[in-house]
Chain A
Amino acid sequence: MARKLLLEHENIPGIATFDVYRKNGGYASVEKAIKTMTPDEVTEEVKKSGLRGRGGAGFPAGMKWSFLDRKSTKPRYLVCNADESEPGTFKDRYLMEKIPHLLIEGMITSSYALGANTSYIYVRGEYMYVIRILEKAIEEAYAAGFLGNNILGSGYSLDMYVQPGGGAYICGEETALLESLEGKRGNPRLKPPFPAIAGLYASPTVVNNVETIAAVVPIVNNGGEEYAKIGIGKSTGTKLISAGGHINNPGVYEIELGLPVEEFIYSKEYCGGIWKGRKLKAVVAGGSSVPILPAGLILKTAKGEPRLMSYESLSEGGFVTGTMLGSGGFIVLDETACIVHHLYTFARFYHHESCGQCSPCREGTGWMEKVIHRIEHGHGHMRDIDLLVDVAKKIEGNTICPLGDAAAWPVASAIRHFREEFEYHIKYPEKVKNPKHFEIEPFVSERVAALV
């Protein structure tokens, strides 16, 4: 049975309330950190644990914390990125709804380590009911003396607030989040300067994902080295995977990094296999922004080794035969899914969410959406496929923030692995008039590796 560090108590009734949470060992990390450790010691434990950012980028959290400008006289801020808008990802909502105090405990311990006296949890506006749950939990924490002035008599004070967003995926990017927190349009800033030097209100700021901050709790409780023992290679600890799509048991699963992908998809403990007795066609392993992989390449790497759920194993093969762990939004497609239509929903998403500051993303996302729409409805030309690849190449790397890359990668990878399906839509416009065409007659490709 796999260890659960974050969701260990998810099914205890009343775990969302302070009293039940405290009875089950809650806020122990706050007491340990504030009473027995210095802020630098806490940062050291996080560094030792090898914790990587769980929002999608996978940047080592301890390193990010050490970049914080500690010489500046400006106040420091910790901002929690709960803007979860990456399609396929819903783990933060689950965590905040079920065990809100876990996040608050992690925030307090992390703020102590960073020397921040004010921290904000930026939650996407659509999660309004989750915001209310968090606000209630924060009130309980204040009442119990874990927030506010002179926490546990230590002299350390912390104020924590929840900030709602307004509905913008781009505000998940850390500098756009800070702009939104300042009450402006969510336009990403140019980096450098990095938020660790000049972030919120031009003061040193650290922005971390919900799951990253929640993971600080078991790291401080058990020690960084214990955390590093779980996992494989540089992918240490556990990760929350949001599994969705054509599987029998969609939901949030906490896995130890290094779990084989085949077990994750087919075992009854996790996704329970493909629904309706169908076969696997493709998987998007880490949220909509990562390359899509056909069945053959998601279960095994190009070298023939079994693919594992870890940062390294999923990236094996670069973007030619690999993908990324990303945010852990695991979307499964069965044999009746139309890759072109699936790609269209993502292209439409990125076009809708582009902030419009820089020309490649602003114009390019709209262009790709329109071309894919034409192909999908049988009005495409053969040259459109190479056009899409070229447009994706011209957007990638030339934008201010990674949204441009995130829009380009799905298009490039879908065409790389499923070119025949695009050609099918162009060659047989009559057959694709029915949106459910592959449910009537599944697409069989000569080129794609044998379906499992």
Chain B
Amino acid sequence: MAKVTIDGIEVEVADGTTILNAARQIGGNVVPPAMCYYTSLKDSGGKCRVCLVKVTQGSAKDPRPMPKLVASCRTNVMDGMVVQNLTSPEVLEARKGVVEFLLLNHPLDCPICDQAGECDLQNLAYEHGAAKTRYEEERRTFEKIDIGDKIKLHMTRCILCYRCTYVADQLTDNRVHGILNRGDASEISTYIEKAVDNDFSGNMIDVCPVGALTDKTFRFKSRVWFTKPVDAHRDCPKCSGKVVLWTKGEEILRVSARKDQYGEVKEFICNECRYDHKEMKDWTVEGPRHIDRHSVISQNHYEKIDLLKLKKEVERQLEFQRGNPLPEPNPTLNP
């Protein structure tokens, strides 16, 4: 076991845990964002440089600080390590820089991109980015292509996190797409036209943090915050069958796997569950899905009405009507 202090909060974790996972055990604001790391995909992480943190004390035995910022998703915790995330201005500067670099060649597609509302890059840019871009040069472009007949690849939006290649390598038995070329001409492609038809390939859509890989069956059908996500399952011999149905009325607009609060899927689903069952009668509905991430999508507070919150809000309105000052901070807002 090793003790590590992140932004002043101490936590004890098993040996071999990374700084990012230790921060996730604490939860809340100390968790650095992560775009290319995925817990269940081996070798992922360390590339996007979004999770950089400052290690001011390497360990209790060797208290020297680390000279450069380190990627928290791939650095193991040592006993007595002290880490600074949001409390270090250097880290915040670096994160702003990295977000700027990620947005450099990224097209301004939000108005037409299906991922809007559940996009990691949108959330990151909103928290750490600048309001305007300084980039005046031409952006690199690619043609939109189909990877298989159910997945659309917008290579211009890709941030090269490599997650989709790891999914193809580790979840399926036949990878036909990969990364070609070098530098900022890198592209995810099959090189020659090849269909990606392996049965778990649809999970590429779920792991992609931006709108580069999207579900063609859902393309342009609806903005994601106008849909009602519900947890559901079915008996599936190939996978766990546990999904989220994104519904509008009685219609299922799309089916996806269940992501946890960090956007990671714990149980992957097969292509049949994802594409071939779009009728409510195919599914056993469990209940509305609670979206943990404080993104635009969770503003649609449809799932339950917190009665205590409602009572507090009514009392607040009455106070206001009586001409009394409002109690601050507003107790009904989310922290």
List residues of A whose CB falls within 8 A of some B CB.
Answer: 168, 185, 190, 351-360, 362-367, 370-371, 374, 387, 394-395, 397-400
Bound CA span A100–B51, Å: 46
Chain B residues within an 8 Å CB radius of A353: 182-183
Given A394-B100, A398-B94, A399-B49, CB of A356 within 8 Å of CB of B184 = yes
Contact B137 A371 (CB under 8 A): yes
What are 21 pairs between A and B in contact, CB < 8 Å?
A168-B182, A190-B46, A190-B74, A351-B184, A353-B182, A355-B183, A356-B179, A356-B186, A357-B160, A358-B47, A359-B160, A360-B101, A362-B184, A363-B101, A363-B105, A367-B104, A394-B100, A397-B68, A398-B94, A398-B98, A400-B49
A398 to B181, CA, bound (A): 23
Cβ of B65 < 8 Å from any Cβ of A?
Answer: no
* A185, A351, A358, A363, most chain B CB atoms within 10 A: A363
Pair B49/A360 contact, Cβ less than 8 Å: yes
Please report the C-alpha to C-alpha distance between residue A353 and residue B184 in the assembled complex, in whole angstroms. 10
Q: Which listed residue, B74, B98, B182, touches A359 by the CB 8 Å rule?
A: B98
Contact flags B40-81 to A (C-beta < 8 A → 1, else 0): 000000111100100000000000000011010010000000
Shortest Cβ gap from A197 to chain B (Å): 13
Chain B residues near A352: list those with CB within 8 A: 183
Say whether B179 contacts A362, CB under 8 Å: no
The 8 Å CB contact of B182, one of A356, A364, A374, is A356
Bound Cα distance from A387 to B100, whole angstroms: 13
Is B102's CB under 8 angstroms from A359's CB? yes
Q: Contacts of A185 on B, CB cut-off 8 Å?
A: 179
Cβ-neighbour of A362 out of B52, B138, B183 (below 8 A): B183
Name the 8 nearest CB pairs between A and B, nearest first: A394-B97, A356-B186, A370-B137, A363-B101, A354-B183, A363-B104, A359-B101, A356-B183
Q: Contact check: which of A360, A364, A395, A400 meets B46 at CB < 8 Å?
A: A400
Residues of A within 8 A of B52 (CB): 398
Q: Mark B101-140, 1 if CB is under 8 A from A, else 0.
A: 1101100000000000000000000000000001101101
Q: With A362-B160, A400-B46 known to touch, is A190 a contact of B71 (CB < 8 Å)?
A: yes
Q: Is the interface of A mostly helix, strand, loop or mixed?
A: helix
Chain B residues with CB under 8 A of A356: 160, 179, 181-186
Residues of chain B with a CB closer than 8 A to A190's CB: 46, 71, 74
- Judge if B19 is at the interface, Cβ distance under 8 Å: no
In the bound complex, CA of A359 to CA of B96 (Å): 12
Q: Which residue of A lies closest to B102 (CB)?
A: A359
The residues of B that contact A374 with a CB separation of less than 8 Å are: 137
Q: How far is the CB of A390 from chain B (nearest CB, A)?
A: 9
B204 within 8 A of A: no
Within 8 A of A (CB), among B232-250: none
Tell me, yes or no, whether B159 is within 8 Å of chain A by CB: yes
Q: How far is B159's CA from A357's CA once the two chains are assembled, in angstroms?
A: 10
What distance in Å separates the Cβ of A110 from its nearest Cβ neighbour in chain B? 29
Contact B183 A358 (CB under 8 A): no
Interface residue ranges of B279-331 to A (CB < 8 Å): none
Contacts of A364 in B (CB 8 A): 101
Cα–Cα, bound, A370→B138 (Å): 9
Kindly name the residue among A356, A359, A397, A400 whose own CB sees the greatest number of chain B CB atoms within 10 A: A359
Contact indicator per residue, chain B 130-172, by CB within 8 Å of chain A (1) or not (0): 0000110110100000000000000000011000000000000
Give min CB distance, B156 to chain A, whole Å: 13
**Which residues of A lie under 8 Å from residue B94 when comparing CB positions?**
394, 397-398
Q: Is the CB of A397 within 8 A of B183?
A: no
Q: Are B160 and A367 in contact (CB under 8 A)?
A: no
Measured between C-beta atoms, what is the minimum distance from B236 to chain A in Å?
35
Q: A190-B71, A397-B68 are in contact. Are A367 and B137 (CB under 8 A)?
A: yes
Bound CA span A387–B140, Å: 20
Assess the A394–B101 pair: CB atoms within 8 A: yes
- Given the complex, which residues of B lie within 8 Å of A357, measured CB to CB? 47, 160
Q: Is the CB of B184 within 8 A of A354?
A: yes
Assembled-state Cα–Cα distance A352/B182 (Å): 8
List A contacts of B185 (CB < 8 A).
Answer: 356
- B residues less than 8 Å from A355 (CB atoms): 182-183
Q: Which residues of B are found within 8 Å of A367, using beta-carbon distances?
A: 104, 135, 137
Determine whether the beta carbon of A362 is less than 8 Å from that of B137. no
Q: Which chain B residue has the least Cβ–Cβ distance from A366?
A: B184
Residues from chain A with a CB closer than 8 A to the CB of B104 are 363, 366-367
Report B175-191 CB contacts with A as 1/0, cut-off 8 Å: 00001011111100000
Most buried by B among A185, A360, A365: A360
Hey, which chain A residues are within 8 Å of B186, CB to CB? 356, 362
User: Which residue of the partner chain, among A366, A370, A398, contacts B49 with CB atoms under 8 Å?
Assistant: A398
**Bound complex: CA of A141 vs CA of B286, how far in Å?**
74
Which chain B residue has the least Cβ–Cβ distance from A404? B49
Cβ contact within 8 Å between A398 and B69: yes
Given contacts A367-B104, A394-B100, contact A358 B49 (CB under 8 A): yes
